[in-house]
């Protein structure tokens, strides 16, 4: 389903850190099917304010940390099951290794599905040090930047110091290499937004890392996200 050549053939920007916007990842038919059957099950709400960064969103596991399995596969459409299989494939790891110049073929990886509803946000941050490479896929049919929900590539920790904005429309994606300067955020979704901002984040980690989203042995209260 994923056109891996789009990843391999894209070049990373070097400023303000190593990142790239990668577009046209699926066929028109697959775009429509993925958007129409976007998951709404087995989410948890994640939120905190006043700390290192403010954040609020709903998240669902798609691929557990370091595993070759698909979370709640029985609830996924055939299109989403195939997308998860693509993310688990050797071809995906090879393509991501090619664009980043980092050997990702054997590193632990996890993937999550997100809903950012009205008022949701993820403030300026650089990611945890154990994260090596992040790849964010978007799944909104239409999205107006005035509704927020864009990935802001920042020159510094200042949310106003924007180098680039990535719109969360389906087929589009962004990847970046974590560093001490890799400041970014998800701008606050407008309270007037008529749909959630929808994305999947794939993260490659240092060996031995533990998932901060789904810590081992911790039971989470899960819910369906309203359609």
pLDDT tens string, the chain, 227 residues long: the values are 999 999 999 999 999 999 999 999 999 999 999 999 999 999 999 998 877 789 999 999 999 999 999 999 999 999 999 999 999 999 999 999 999 999 999 999 999 999 999 999 999 999 999 999 999 999 999 999 899 999 999 999 999 999 999 999 999 999 999 999 999 999 999 999 999 999 999 999 999 999 999 998 888 899 999 87
Total count of domains within the chain: 1
Does some domain include residue 22? yes
Range of the domain at 148: 4-205
* CATH classification at residue 183: 2.60.120.620
Give the pairing type, strands 19-22 and 44-48: unpaired
Compute CA distances 31 → 136, 173, 223, whole Å: 16, 13, 26
- Give the alpha-carbon dihedral of 168, 30, 205, 110, to 10 degrees: 110
- pTM beyond 0.95: the answer is yes
| φ, ψ (nearest 5 deg) of residue 123 | -65, 170
Given CA atoms 102, 20, 5, 37 in this order, what sign does their dihedral have? positive
């Amino acid at each position: 389903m994923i056109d891996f050549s789009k990843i391999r053939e894209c070049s990373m920007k070097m400023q303000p850190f190593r990142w790239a916007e990668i577009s046209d990842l699926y066929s028109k038919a697959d775009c429509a099917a993925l958007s129409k059957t976007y998951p709404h099950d087995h989410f948890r709400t994640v939120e905190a304010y006043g700390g290192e960064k403010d954040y609020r969103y709903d998240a669902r596991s798609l691929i557990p940390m370091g595993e070759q399995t698909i979370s709640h596969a029985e609830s996924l459409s055939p299109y989403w099951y195939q997308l998860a299989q693509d993310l688990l494939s050797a071809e995906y790891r090879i393509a991501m290794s090619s664009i980043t110049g980092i050997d990702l073929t054997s590193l632990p990886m996890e993937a999550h599905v997100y809903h950012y509803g009205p008022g949701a946000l993820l403030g300026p941050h650089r990611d945890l040090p154990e994260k090596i490479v992040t790849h964010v896929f978007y799944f909104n049919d239409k999205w107006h930047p005035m509704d927020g929900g864009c990935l802001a590539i920042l020159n510094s920790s200042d949310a106003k110091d924007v180098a680039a904005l990535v719109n969360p429309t389906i087929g589009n994606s962004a990847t970046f290499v974590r560093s001490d300067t890799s400041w970014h955020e998800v701008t606050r979704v407008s309270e007037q937004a008529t749909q959630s901002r929808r994305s999947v984040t794939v993260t490659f980690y240092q060996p031995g890392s533990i998932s901060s989203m789904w810590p081992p042995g911790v039971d989470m209260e899960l819910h369906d996200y309203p359609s």
